[in-house]
C-alpha cells in the first residue's frame, strides 16, 4: 500500500515514537522554504518517506503556490492515494492543474470507491474526459459506482470481494486464494454465497486460518450476517458497523445478490465525516467546512446563515420596540434585558445539543421522546428557579430596587422553562419533518429564547413596575 | 460473539432488509408493555433474537423500572457484552442492582479492555469486591489495564495477540494457529517480533493466506509498522488508525516490547466518543452527555456552565450600563443594540467552529495558523461591510434617521472584524495553553462579541449622535 521506507532509525529499530503526527509545523515550513528557494529536490527528499495520507495533509497545509510547485515536482511520482485522501476543496484545485489522462491513470490504480470519490466533483465535461481515458474495465466499475446516489453504500463499496460456495472446505478456499490473481487489496472476511450468488454466511479470516483444511465452510460460517442494501445511506452503514463491531460487510442489490463489500476503514472515514458535518452545521457552517476555501467562497457560504440570523435578530428587536416607552422610563431594563435572553439561549442550546446528538445516534426516538421532553422541562424549571434567585438578587442590589429583582427573576423562570421545552421540541419536530436538526435547530431556538426573553422581561416590567 | 439466531425469515432467506435499526420505538413499547403486565416471558421472547448491542440500546430506551425488570428477567441469560455496550450512566445504575460475583463472572467473559471499561467507574470498595471474585488470571489482566491512565492505549488494548518470529514460514504460522488454544477472539494481523519481543513487522491475514506454505514470513511482512506506545492518548490512537487505514496495531511498552494489540472496532467507538465529546462541549454540556441522567444530576452539571454564562452576561450588561444616559436619550439604541451583538456572536461562532474542528483533526497547526487567521479577518471584514450596508439601511428606514444607520453599520464592521479574529485567536490560544478549545472557547468568544458589540454601537452613538 505504501512506500516500504522504514520510519525508524537503524540504530534504534524499536523505540516507540508515537508517529501519529508526521506532518509537523516544522516539516511544513521546511518544505515550503525549499520550494520557495526552488530546491525541488530538497522538498522531494523531505516528502519521500511520508505515507500518502501525510503527503495529502502536507499539501493541504501549504500555500496554494507551494502546493502547485510540489505537485509539479512530484510529477508521475505522486501516489494516487494522495489525491484520494485530499480535502475535497483542495482536491478540486489540484485536479484543475492535472491533465485528464493523468487523473485517469491515477483513478485506474485506486479502489473503485476511491476512484469514484476522486472524480465525482469534476464538472461533467472533465469527468467524461477522465472516464474515457481510463481502461474499459476500470471505467465500467467507476461508472457503476457513480450511478449510485452520493453518500450511499453503492458509492462506498468495493466491487472486489471474496465469495465461495458453502460446500467448499477450508483447504479449497486457501488453495483458491493462493491461485487467484484478481482479489481485493484487502479483505477481512470470506463471504459464503448460495448458487444464486446471495450471501448466506461469512467466515472471518482468523477463523478460516485456525481450522483444519478438511473443515467444511458451512460448519464454521456466521449466519447472522449484517447485509448492506446497495442504496443504504452511508450514515446507516456506519451505524451498523459501529453497532455490530463489523470489520466488513457484504453489499447486496435489490434481488439479494452480492455486489461488493464495504470495509471498516472506509466506515471510519464516514464516521469522521458525519460527526464533522454535525459539528459544522451546529456552528452555522456548511457541512463540509470551509477551512480550505478562499475568503470570497467562504463569505458567500457563511453569509447565507448570517442573513437568516439577521432576520431573527430583527424579530427580537421588534419585540423590544413594543416596549420602547417602558425602556425610556426605566433605563435599567435596557441594561438587564440581554441577561434574560442570553441565559435562555444558553440553557436551550444545552438541551438542543443533547437532543441533536441523541437523534443522530438513535438514542432519542419516539419511544422515549415524551419522557425526555418532560425531563428537560423539569431541568429548565429547576435551573430557572436557581438562576431567578441569583440574578434577581444581583439586579436588586445593583439597582437598589427589589422589585426589579422580582421582574427579572420571573422572566428568567419563564424563559428557561421555554428554552428547555423548545430545545427538545424544535429538533424533534425538524427530525420528524425530515430536516436535519443540526442545520437549523439553533436559529429557531435562539429566536424563541430571544423573543420570549425580551417579551417576558419587558412585559412583566410594564405590568409590575409602571 | 452473538446468538446464532438468524434475523431473516426462512421463506425469504436473502431479502436485504437493512437491519440497521433493530430497536424500533414499536419494539421498545411492546417490551415495556409486556413488562408492565408482568409478562416476563413475552418480553424475553421479544429480546431473544437481538444482538447484545441492541439489547443495550433497548435497556437505555426503557424507563428505569422496566429496565430493572428486564435485567431481572434475563438473569444469568444476560450477555456480558450487553453490560459492556451500555451507556456509562445507565450502566452505573444497572450494576448497582447486580451482585459483585455476577459482575465478576461477566467481566471474566469479556475482552480485557471491555472488562476494565465495565468496572472502571465502580467505587473502590465495589471494584475490589468484583476483582476478588474474578479468576486470578483474568483479574491480573484487568488490574494491569486499570493501572494505565483513563483514555490511554493501555486501557484500550487487548492483551491477547498473535506474534511470531520472523524466521517462521507461512506453513508454520498456520499450523501454530490451528494448534494453539489461547488466541484472541478476533485478529486481523500477525505481528512479527524479534528475539526481545519487539515488533519488527506485521503480516495481514489475507496476505498470509494467499502465500504458499514455504514462504518466509520475513519476506512478506510490512516493515512500516505504526506502533502505539502504551501511554498514548486514545484520541491520538484514533488519529493514527484513521490516517493510515489500520485494521489493528501493536501496542508497545517504554522498552519497545509488544504488550498487546488495539483493533479497529475499539477505535470506531473512540472516534464516536471523541466527536460526541466535542459536540457536547461546544454546546456547553459535559463531555459524556446527560441524556440518561436524572433531572437533578442534569441540573447540577449544566448549572456550572450557566453560572459562567451569567457572569459573562453581567459583564455585557455592565458595558451597556456605561451608556445608560445615551440610551435614555435615544431609546432606538436599546432596540437595535442586540442586532450588533448577535451578528458578531454568530459570525464568530462560525469561525470558532471551523477552528475547533480543524484543531481536532490537526488541519490547523502552527504551520498555517497565521494564514488562516488572516483569511478569517478578511472574511470578517467583508461580511462586516455587507451586513453594515444591509443593517444600516434597515435601521435608517425603520427610525427615519440615516445617521443611526451609519452608527450601526460602523459598529457592525468593527464587531464582525473582531469576531473573525477572536474566533481564531481564542481556540488557538486555548489549544496552545493545553486547554481543550471545545470546552471554553464559545464563552470567551461571546463575551468578546457582546462587549465589543455593545461598546462599539453605544460608544459610536454617543460620539456621533449626541
**SS3 of A259-305:** EEEEEHHHHHHHHHHHHHHHHHHHCCCCCCCCCCCCHHHHHHHHHHH
Cβ <8 Å between B244 and A367: no
Partners of B324 on chain A (C-beta within 8 Å) are 331-332, 334-335
Task: Compute the distance between CA of residue A145 and CA of residue A329 in angstroms, rounded to an integer.
Answer: 68
Query: Which residues face B261 on adjacent strands?
Result: B158, B250
Question: Whose grid coordinates read 458589540?
Answer: B453
Long-range Cβ contacts of B435-441 (<8 Å, 24+ apart): B436/B281, B437/B355, B437/B356, B437/B359, B438/B277, B438/B278, B438/B281, B438/B282, B438/B356, B438/B360, B439/B281, B441/B352, B441/B355, B441/B356
Asked if the C-beta of B391 comes within 8 angstroms of chain A's C-beta atoms, the answer is: yes
Residue B17 has pLDDT above 50, yes or no: no
Mean pLDDT for the stretch of residues B92-117: 89
Q: Hey, are the CB atoms on B209 and A205 less than 8 Å from each other?
A: yes
Q: Domain spans of chain A?
A: 25-151, 163-280, 295-465
* 3-state SS, residue A231: coil
Q: What is the pLDDT of residue B20?
A: 55
Which positions in chain A touch B13 (Cβ < 8 Å)?
194, 198, 200
Neighboring chain B residues of A54 at a CB cutoff of 8 Å: 243
Please say whether the beta carbons of A55 and A47 come within 8 A.
yes
Rounded mean pLDDT, B245-263: 95
Chain A partners within 8 Å of B245 (Cβ): 1, 53, 265, 268
SS3 A323: coil
d(CA B455, CA B309): 19
Q: How far apart are CA A3 and CA B245, in angstroms?
A: 15
Helix (H) or strand (E) holding B358: helix B332-360
Q: Which residue of A has its CA nearest to B228?
A: A18
Instruction: Tell me: pLDDT of B13 over 60.
Output: no
Helix (H, G, I), strand (E, B) or coil at A51: coil
In angstroms, the Cα distances linking B369 to A451, B380, B428 are 38, 16, 8
Distance CA A36, CA A190 (A): 51
How far is it, in rounded angstroms, from Cα A340 to Cα A330? 17
- Does B415 contact chain A (CB < 8 Å)? no
What pLDDT does B111 receive? Answer: 85
Q: Do A272 and B275 touch (CB under 8 A)?
A: yes
Question: Is residue B333 scored above 90 in pLDDT?
Answer: yes
Parallel, antiparallel or unpaired: strands B228-229 and B199-204:
unpaired
Residue range A163-280 in CATH 3.40.50.720: no
pLDDT digits (tens, 9 = 90+) for A156-174: 998 889 999 999 999 999 9
- pLDDT of the residue at B2: 32
For chain A, the first-to-last Cα distance in angstroms comes to 77
Q: How would residue A297 be classed by pLDDT, with cut points 50, 70 and 90?
A: very high
Summarised one tens digit per residue, pLDDT across range A356-414 is 999 988 889 888 999 999 999 999 999 999 999 999 999 999 999 999 999 999 999 99
**Residue B184 — very low, low, confident or very high, per pLDDT cuts 50/70/90?**
confident
Mutate to test the interface with B, among A86, A209, A238, A324 (most CBs of B within 10 A): A209
Asked whether residue A14 carries a pLDDT value surpassing 70, the answer given is no
Q: Enter the pTM of the model.
A: 0.87
In this prediction, does ipTM exceed 0.85? Answer: yes
pLDDT band at A20 (very low <50, low <70, confident <90, very high): low
Q: What is the mean pLDDT of residues A126-146?
A: 92
Q: Which residue from A minimizes the CA distance to B378?
A: A295
User: Is the Cβ pair B339, A246 closer than 8 Å?
Assistant: no
The class of domain B25-152 in CATH terms is: mainly alpha
pLDDT for residue A54: 93
What pLDDT, on the 0 to 100 scale, is given for residue A34? 94
Residue A18 has which C-alpha cell?
A: 508515537
Alpha helices in B185-293 (DSSP H): 205-210, 217-220, 234-244, 264-282
Looking at residue A1, its pLDDT comes to: 32
Average pLDDT of span B52-79: 91
Looking at the complex, report in whole angstroms how far the Cα of residue B166 sits from the nearest Cα belonging to chain A: 15
Fold for domain A25-151?
MgtE N-terminal fold (1.25.60)
A433 interfacial to chain B (CB closer than 8 Å): no
User: Given a cut of 70, is residue A5 above it in pLDDT?
Assistant: no
Partners of residue A188 in chain B, C-beta under 8 Å = 188, 205-206, 247
Residue to substitute from A7, A9, A14, A369, interface B, most B β-carbons within 10 A? A14
Cβ within 8 Å, pair B3-A246 = no
**C-alpha to C-alpha distance for A15 and B222, rounded to whole angstroms:** 17
- List the single best residue of B283, B299, B375 to mutate versus A (max A Cβ within 10 A): B283
**Assigned C-alpha cell, A40:** 525541488
Binned at pLDDT 50, 70 and 90, residue B332 comes out as very high
C-alpha cell at A373: 421532553
pLDDT-wise least confident of A111-115, A305-309, A424-428, B52-56: A111-115
Q: What is the pLDDT of residue A9?
A: 35
User: Is the model's pLDDT at A222 over the cut of 50?
Assistant: yes
Distance CA(A99)–CA(B127), nearest Å, equals 64
Q: For B427-447, what is the mean pLDDT?
A: 92
Helix (H, G, I), strand (E, B) or coil at B216: strand
Give me the total of CB pairs closer than 8 Å, taking one residue from chain A and one from chain B: 443
User: What does R_g of chain A's alpha carbons equal in angstroms?
Assistant: 29
| B389 in reach of chain A (CB within 8 A) | no
- The partner residues of A263 in beta bridges, in order of sequence, read A248
To the nearest whole angstrom, how far is the Cα of A115 from the nearest Cα of chain B? Answer: 17
Q: What pLDDT digit, counting tens, does each position of A190-199 carry?
A: 999 999 999 9
Whether the per-residue pLDDT at A97 is higher than 90: the answer is no
Q: Cβ contact (<8 Å) for A209 and B210?
A: no
Cα A53 from Cα A84, distance rounded (Å): 9
- Contact B306/A at CB under 8 A: yes
CATH number (1.10.357.20, 3.20.20.80, 2.40.50.140, 3.30.360.10) of B295-465 reads 1.10.357.20
**Residue A11 scores a pLDDT above 50:** no
The CATH architecture of the domain made up of B163-265 is Roll (3.10)
- Comparing alpha-carbon positions, the chain A residue that sits nearest to B333 is A334
Give residue B183's pLDDT: 84
Pairing type for strands A199-204 and A189-193 reads antiparallel
Distance from CA of B132 to the nearest CA of A (A): 30
Chain B residue with minimum CA distance to A31: B367
- A269 has a chain B CB within 8 A of its CB: yes
Q: How confident is the model at residue B168 (pLDDT cuts 50, 70, 90)?
A: very high
For chain B, first and last CA: distance in Å? 77
pLDDT exceeds 70 at position A7 = no
Strand order of the sheet with strand A228-229? Answer: A228-229, A248-252, A258-263
> Chain B: nearest CA to A200, how far in angstroms?
7
The verdict on A30 touching B (C-beta cutoff 8 Å) is: no
Confidence of residue A4 (pLDDT cuts 50, 70, 90): very low
Q: Is the CB of A271 less than 8 angstroms away from the CB of B267?
A: no
Amino acid at each position: 500500500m505504501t512506500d516500504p521506507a522504514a520510519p525508524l532509525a537503524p540504530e534504534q529499530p524499536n523505540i516507540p515514537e508515537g508517529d501519529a503526527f508526521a506532518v509537523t509545523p516544522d516539516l511544513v515550513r521546511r518544505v515550503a522554504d525549499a520550494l520557495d528557494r526552488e530546491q525541488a529536490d530538497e522538498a522531494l527528499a523531505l516528502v519521500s518517506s511520508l505515507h500518502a495520507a501525510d503527503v495529502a495533509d502536507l499539501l493541504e497545509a501549504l500555500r496554494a503556490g507551494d502546493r502547485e510547485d510540489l505537485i509539479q515536482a512530484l510529477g508521475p511520482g505522486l501516489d494516487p492515494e494522495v489525491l484520494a485522501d485530499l480535502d475535497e476543496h483542495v482536491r478540486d484545485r489540484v485536479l484543475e492543474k492535472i491533465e485528464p489522462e493523468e487523473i485517469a491513470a491515477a483513478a485506474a490504480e485506486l479502489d473503485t470507491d476511491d476512484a469514484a470519490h476522486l472524480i465525482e466533483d469534476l464538472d461533467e465535461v472533465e469527468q467524461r474526459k477522465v472516464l474515457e481515458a481510463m481502461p474499459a474495465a476500470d471505467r465500467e466499475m467507476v461508472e457503476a459506482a457513480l450511478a449510485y446516489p452520493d453518500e450511499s453504500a453503492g458509492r462506498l463499496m468495493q466491487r472486489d470481494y471474496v465469495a465461495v460456495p458453502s460446500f467448499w472446505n477450508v483447504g479449497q478456499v486457501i488453495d483458491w486464494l493462493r491461485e487467484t490473481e484478481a482479489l481485493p487489496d484487502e479483505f477481512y472476511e470470506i463471504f459464503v454465497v448460495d448458487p444464486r450468488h446471495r450471501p448466506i454466511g461469512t467466515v472471518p479470516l482468523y477463523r478460516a486460518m485456525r481450522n483444519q483444511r478438511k473443515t467444511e465452510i458451512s460448519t464454521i460460517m456466521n449466519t447472522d450476517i449484517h447485509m448492506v442494501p446497495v442504496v443504504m445511506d452511508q450514515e446507516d452503514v456506519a451505524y451498523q458497523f459501529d453497532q455490530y463491531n463489523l470489520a466488513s460487510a457484504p453489499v447486496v442489490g435489490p434481488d439479494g445478490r452480492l455486489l461488493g463489500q464495504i470495509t471498516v476503514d472506509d466506515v471510519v472515514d464516514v464516521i469522521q465525516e458525519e460527526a464533522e458535518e454535525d459539528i459544522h452545521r451546529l456552528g452555522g457552517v456548511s457541512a463540509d467546512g470551509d477551512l480550505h476555501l478562499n475568503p470570497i467562497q467562504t463569505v458567500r457560504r457563511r453569509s447565507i446563515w448570517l442573513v437568516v440570523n439577521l432576520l431573527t435578530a430583527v424579530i427580537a428587536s421588534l419585540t423590544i420596540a413594543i416596549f420602547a416607552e417602558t425602556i425610556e422610563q426605566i433605563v435599567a431594563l435596557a441594561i438587564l434585558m440581554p441577561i434574560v435572553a442570553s441565559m435562555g439561549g444558553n440553557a436551550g442550546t444545552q438541551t438542543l445539543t443533547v437532543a441533536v446528538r441523541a437523534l443522530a445516534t438513535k438514542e432519542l426516538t419516539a419511544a422515549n421522546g415524551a419522557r425526555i421532553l418532560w425531563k428537560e422541562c423539569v431541568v429548565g424549571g429547576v435551573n430557572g428557579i436557581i438562576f431567578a434567585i441569583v440574578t434577581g438578587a444581583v439586579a436588586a442590589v445593583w439597582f437598589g430596587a427589589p422589585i426589579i429583582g422580582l421582574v427579572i427573576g420571573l422572566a428568567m423562570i419563564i424563559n428557561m422553562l421555554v428554552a428547555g421545552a423548545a430545545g427538545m421540541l424544535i429538533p424533534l419536530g425538524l427530525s420528524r419533518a425530515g430536516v436535519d436538526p443540526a442545520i437549523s435547530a439553533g436559529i429557531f431556538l435562539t429566536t424563541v429564547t430571544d423573543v420570549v426573553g425580551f417579551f417576558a422581561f419587558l412585559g412583566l416590567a410594564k405590568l409590575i413596575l409602571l
